[in-house]
Structure 1
Amino acid sequence: MLVRKDSRVIAVDGSRMTMFKTKGEAFAPELELIEEHKNPSLRTSDLGTDKPGRSFQSKSPRRGSHEQTDLQQQEEDRFVSEMAKRIEQIMSGSKDSIILVAAPRALGVIRKHLGPETIARLQAEIPKDFGPDAAEPLANMLAKHEI
């Protein structure tokens, strides 16, 4: 993949967001860390202790239960949406292109929160769950990636 110099490479998952700036050659990018955010990992019992809901039908003795809410996933989605807003803040004063690397679910949450100007500067969206703290493997993956 041809990576423009001074592009922003943003790697996001449910617990971390790392932003890099590209240096080096177009086909062999080097990544320089700019910004990093971490979501503190909470236990499910710290997020909530409620039981799944129950429903009753007035005309029959049948009872039903509702599915348990995935509190960890809700927390990850909240963090990813906050990071999308942070990306929007950073990119509002910049004209750099963006390469976004995120898990498919996180990518969907991020897309909802990005404005049209930021979306227009997206050079690539890579739906891959990649460890945001690994700069060298990420640069190698970008060099080999085809759009």
Structure 2
Amino acid sequence: MDIPKGATVAVADGEKLNLFRNTGDEANPKLTATDVEDVANENKGSGARHQSSSANPDSGQIEEDSFAAGTAELLNRKVLGGQIANLIIIASPRTLGELRKHYHQKLSAVLVGEIAKDLTGHSVQEIEKVVSSA
């Protein structure tokens, strides 16, 4: 997958969000970490509407879904504010599914690609390699 120059790459799981900007070009991406504001965790995601039982998410899963919803809210706000023109999202499969439920239409329009893989805690070089080979 080509990473447009200046594109934002969001790497998330249910507890952590890292943002990078491609300061290289499409053929030779170079991801540089950017500051991440705190993710609001008040939105309890899709799992919060249910009482906890054996058939419904436990509190840990609800917290992860809430973090994913907060991550989507933060990304939506940045897209709507003109801070993100091209976006690639890399997230664990479950987190990616929860994120998708909260995408704003404008976020979907600037989405260059998604990768369902947990890469939080991996090096920038590993992330660059995974995106380039996707």
Q: Do they fold alike, i.e. is TM over 0.5? A: yes
Unaligned 5+ runs, structure 1: 40-52, 54-65
* 2:130 matches 1:136: no
Q: CA deviation at 1:87?
A: 0.7
Deviation, 1:27, is 2.4
Structure 1 equivalent of residue 42 of structure 2? none
* Contact 1:23–1:30 (CA under 8 A) maintained in structure 2: yes
Q: Percent identity?
A: 27
| Maintained 8 Å contact 1:10/1:20 | yes
Please tell me whether the aligned partners of residues 14 and 67 of structure 2 are also in contact (alpha carbons under 8 angstroms). Answer: yes
TM-score, normalized by length of structure 2?
Answer: 0.80
Corresponding residue for residue 66 of structure 2: 78
Answer with 70-79 or 88-97: which moved more. Answer: 88-97
Structure 2 unmatched ranges of 5 or more: 40-51
SS at structure 2 position matched to 1:124: strand
Structure 1 contact 20–34 (Cα < 8 Å) conserved: yes
Structure ranking higher in strand proportion: 1
The alignment covers a number of residue pairs equal to 121
In structure 2, C-alpha distance between the alignment counterparts of 1:75 and 1:83, rounded to whole Å: 12
CA contact (8 A) 1:16 1:37 kept: no
Structure 1 outlier segments of 4+, above 3 Å: 36-39
| Cα distance change, pair 131–37 in 1 and its aligned pair in 2 (3 A) | farther
TM-score (norm 1): 0.73
Which residue is equivalent to 1:114? 103
Which residue among 124, 128, 138 is the counterpart of 2:113?
124
Q: Determine if contact 2:4/2:22 at 8 Å carries over to the other structure.
A: yes
Alignment RMSD: 2.3
User: Could you tell me how far 1:132 is from its partner in structure 2?
Assistant: 5.1
Preserved CA contact (<8 Å) 1:6 1:23: yes
Kept in 1, the 8 Å contact 2:18–2:120? The answer is: no
CA contact (8 A) 1:9 1:21 kept: yes
